[in-house]
Amino acid sequence: METDALYLIVRQVEAGHYRFAVSPAHFQEVGAIRDREERTEVTALLQRLALPLIACDRDEARARATALHAAGIGVADAAHVAFAEQMADCLITCDHALLKRCRRIGVKIAVMNPIEFIANELTP
């Protein structure tokens, strides 16, 4: 169901109903994908769907990521959350452990899985 919800979200982004924000954390993470074909596909998806890089304060994001990491969120996930807090209305993730940690520590942005996002958006 999460995969179907994710594809629905991608189609909605392509149709212009939602915007997809990309942070420097995305590019760093994609660059670390070992499988060249997968890395190429993910890069193409980011380039196709993403807005131009939204201005954000990298020093502020770094400080926030450090605080999030100290609160128990992994380094890469902390960077994603810190940038999302500056750039987006919500962070959609399939990482259930990240969802639990974000909810436990109370981040400054809505964090949900694709199914929750679709359910929230379809509920009047």
Share of the chain above pLDDT 70, in %: 95
DSSP string, the chain: -HHHHHHHHHHHHHTTSS-B---HHHHHHHHT---HHHHHHHHHHHHHHBPSPPP--HHHHHHHHHHHHHTT--HHHHHHHHHHHHH-SEEE-S-HHHHHHHHHHT-SSEEE-HHHHHHHHH--
Question: pLDDT digits over 63-121, tens only?
Answer: 999 999 999 999 999 999 999 999 889 999 989 999 999 999 989 999 999 999 999 98
Sketch the domain layout of the chain as residue ranges.
2-122
pTM score of the predicted model:
0.83
Query: Regarding the domain delimited by 2-122, which CATH topology (the fold level of the hierarchy) does it fall under?
Result: Rossmann fold (3.40.50)
